[in-house]
């Protein structure tokens, strides 16, 4: 009887441990804290993935057509629908971080970033979303940003989204900010490549500015800058590979492409970067804006990728970002 009791207790303890053990940690290098209406009037359906990116007749308004497709989900193979309130957006996002043991570099409205951090301090790594319009509107010039980073309140400069203003990160107007980030050794994320479909008519972006080659002059001027290219420069893969080869300090995050792209395209793009020898510099990023459910889609795509071995998956989901952020062994241990 006593032996049966001991066996039962051992079995119970092992089952309890299995139920309470956290998943392996994930670092999300690209999460946003924004309002539920910041991508348009909610609820909106994003393709996860898209089946196609539409066929526009220029006799009508593209912004109206785009919002119509976001409302109906007509371009989508599968859809993730956005919450309708800021409170629900925050609640759902933080719940997913907790469920999947995710630590997220989070940028967006500064007050919202701090609110997310206040709610879940151990999982939020505060970052600063920045472009030249914000520099003017919010007085986020190089001096004020320097003070924020020196205070320790913010850890990452990014994302830098000047592409949406038709400006290259190597433009002289951006130079003082990269100089500041380099001097303070602040990890820096720069938006490259994709945006919303038809982004030239929605944001002022230009397709040519999505090429990773626009980073070259900036990297040559700032060789000590810790920088990562968001969305891995999709769709200009050859340009991205050329820059990764020429600049061994350059990393990428996968951003929005890990859930919006059709499966074959995502697998081709990620697989070629890994096959080209850059698997140690690819980081997971959700680019979660107002669709918390998209986080799980992106993670599962990486975890289920048959062309990646387990070490490569862990590198993308955690190890590469831990190295890039220079996390200490103590910090890494706490994440497990």
Instruction: Dump pLDDT digits (tens) for 231-247.
Output: 999 999 999 999 999 99
And the tokens for 102?
């995710």
Summarize pLDDT for 12-60 with one digit per residue, the tens.
Answer: 344 444 445 889 999 999 999 999 999 999 999 999 999 999 999 999 9
Domain extents in the chain: 23-34+85-335
pTM over 0.85: yes
In 3D space, the residue among 278, 255, 299 whose CA is nearest the CA of residue 97 turns out to be 299
Per-residue pLDDT at 20? 58
C-alpha dihedral, 233 to 198 to 50 to 157, nearest 10°: 40
Q: Which residue has the tokens 């997971």?
A: 284
Per DSSP, the chain holds a count of helices (H) and strands (E) of: 16, 10
* 8 Å CB contact between 170 and 218: yes
Per-residue pLDDT at 21? 81
Question: Along the 336 residues of the chain, how does pLDDT read in single tens digits?
Answer: 445 444 444 443 444 444 458 899 999 999 999 999 999 999 999 999 999 999 999 999 999 999 999 999 999 999 999 999 999 999 999 999 999 999 999 999 999 999 999 999 999 999 999 999 988 888 899 999 999 999 999 999 999 999 999 999 999 999 999 999 999 999 999 999 888 999 999 988 999 999 999 999 999 999 999 999 999 999 999 999 999 999 999 999 999 999 999 999 999 999 999 999 999 999 999 999 999 999 999 999 999 999 999 999 999 999 999 999 999 999 999 999
* 8 Å CB contact between 260 and 234: no
In 3D space, the residue among 185, 176, 194 whose CA is nearest the CA of residue 155 turns out to be 185
Rg (the chain; Cα; Å): 21
Per-residue pLDDT at 22? 87
- Alpha-carbon gap, residue 24 to 310, rounded angstroms: 12
How, if at all, do strands 124-130 and 102-108 pair? parallel
- Alpha-carbon gap, residue 244 to 250, rounded angstroms: 6
Q: What b-and-e string marks burial along 293-314, b requiring 16 or more CB atoms within 10 Å of the CB?
A: bbbbbbbebbeebeebeeebbb
Residue 209 neighbours by CB under 8 Å, 6+ apart = 163, 166, 167, 168
CATH of 23-34+85-335 among 3.20.20.140, 3.90.1150.10, 3.40.50.450, 3.90.330.10: 3.20.20.140
């Amino acid at each position: 009887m006593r032996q049966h009791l001991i066996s039962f207790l051992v079995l119970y303890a092992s089952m309890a441990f299995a139920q309470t053990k956290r998943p392996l940690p994930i670092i999300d290098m690209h999460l946003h804290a924004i309002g539920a209406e910041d991508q348009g009037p909610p609820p909106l359906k994003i393709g996860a993935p898209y089946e196609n990116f539409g066929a526009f007749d220029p006799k009508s308004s593209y912004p109206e057509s785009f919002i119509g497709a976001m409302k109906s989900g007509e371009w989508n193979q599968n859809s993730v629908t956005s919450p309708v309130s800021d409170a629900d957006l925050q609640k759902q996002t933080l719940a997913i971080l907790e469920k999947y043991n995710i630590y997220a570099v989070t940028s967006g409205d500064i007050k919202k970033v701090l609110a997310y951090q206040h709610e879940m301090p151990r999982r939020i790594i505060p970052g600063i979303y920045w472009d030249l319009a914000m520099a003017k509107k919010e007085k986020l010039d190089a001096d004020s940003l320097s003070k924020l980073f020196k205070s320790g309140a913010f850890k990452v400069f990014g994302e830098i989204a000047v592409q949406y203003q038709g400006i290259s990160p190597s433009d002289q107007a951006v130079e003082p900010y990269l100089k500041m980030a380099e001097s303070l050794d602040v990890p820096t994320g720069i938006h490259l490549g994709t945006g919303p479909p038809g982004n030239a008519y929605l944001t002022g972006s230009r397709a040519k500015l999505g090429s990773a080659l626009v980073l070259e002059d900036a990297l040559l001027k700032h060789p000590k800058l810790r920088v990562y290219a968001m969305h891995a420069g999709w769709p200009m893969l050859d340009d991205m590979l050329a820059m990764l080869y020429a600049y061994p300090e350059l990393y990428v995050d996968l951003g929005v492409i890990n859930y919006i792209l059709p499966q074959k395209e995502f697998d081709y793009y990620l697989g070629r970067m890994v096959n080209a020898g850059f698997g140690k510099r690819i980081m997971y990023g959700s680019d979660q804006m107002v669709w918390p459910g998209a986080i799980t889609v992106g993670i599962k795509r990486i975890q289920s990728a048959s062309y990646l071995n387990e070490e490569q998956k862990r590198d993308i989901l955690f190890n590469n970002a831990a190295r890039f952020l220079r996390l200490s062994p103590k910090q890494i241990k706490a994440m497990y």
